[in-house]
Amino acid sequence: MNANLKQKHYLVAGAGFVGGVLVEQLRDAGHRVTPVTRSECDITDWDSVSEFADGKGEVDGIVHCASSTSRGSATDREEAYRAIYLEGCRNLLAAFEPGMFIFTSSTSVYGQTDGSIVDEESPAVPDSGTGKVLREVEEDILAAGFSVARLAGIYGPGRSFLLKKFQAGESVIDGMEDGAEGRWINQVHRDDAASALAFLLTQNPENGLFNACDSKPMRQREFFQAMVTHLGGAMPPVAPPDPNRKRGWSDKAVSNAKLRALGWQPKFPSYFDALNAGAVSAD
């Protein structure tokens, strides 16, 4: 550990795809980290959280990056979101009373459909029920003086929905006529999502709202043309946008300029930087 670094105690709720890497990064930096997995603690249940907190000592900061696994109806998903995100955050804050807290939200809360560039000052008015729950949690956390990190679509080793769909020949470009450019794709590599959270937890002195995404959002046509160049295959067809997508349909390019201005830089500025480095694969 760096002799100039004061070891701190951090808690990571949801030590899974992103959270597990975050735990490793924080430990590599010399910090004490307590991961919270579903098998150890049900953060939606106050008694479980209170029991888990007993004997853990003072916690300097918490990152809530647990995810909801509900696949039921829209109502079921909303209830699951409310339990894991809203109640989960409230339980963790009450049990540990940390000095810092980061809630990992999603850039899906930006409901823009006009293809505009959005940043942290842009309106976030999602039309999906789950998006509305996320916004409620965000407002809770920000009002309490803590931070929210809005993550773009996460990909990485063994996880790339877009690559999986392309290889299966199931991709489409959203549009109403041949030659449509399609909607914007906003993504972030798993390791960059984790490093953004670690940066906000350990190096950023100010709380607030931050977009964590790569530096090059791409329209669908550009993205799939690059896929064809890298992997071969055919361009996907153009099809009308699906308004019933689970997270709602939107078309916006998310900016990470605020986070980069503070000193954070993604290891993979674009999806294809990661693909070329062998850091991404399908399920």
Buried b (16+ CB within 10 A) or exposed e, 55-87: eeeebbbbbbbbbbebeeeeeebbbbbbbbbbb
In a domain, 52, yes or no: yes
In a domain, 131, yes or no: yes
In a domain, 243, yes or no: no
Structure letter (DSSP) for residue 159:
B
pLDDT given for residue 70 in this prediction: 62
Q: How far apart are CA 139 and CA 137, in angstroms?
A: 5
Phi, psi dihedrals of residue 219, rounded to the nearest 5°: -75, 155
Q: What is the pLDDT of residues 33-83, one digit of tens each?
A: 999 998 999 999 999 999 999 999 999 999 999 988 767 788 889 999 999
In a domain, 258, yes or no: yes
The total number of structural domains that make up the chain: 1
Check pLDDT > 50 for residue 245.
yes
Please compute the mean of the pLDDT values over residues 87-91 and round it to a whole number: 97
Q: What is the pLDDT of residues 128-141, one digit of tens each?
A: 899 999 999 999 99
Structure letter (DSSP) for residue 95:
H
In a domain, 242, yes or no: no
In a domain, 229, yes or no: no
In a domain, 107, yes or no: yes
Range of the domain at 104: 9-156+187-216+252-267
CATH of the domain at 134: 3.40.50.720
In a domain, 256, yes or no: yes
Check pLDDT > 60 for residue 4.
no
Mean pLDDT, rounded, of the chain: 94
Burial of 279 (0-12, 13-18, 19+ CB in 10 A): middle
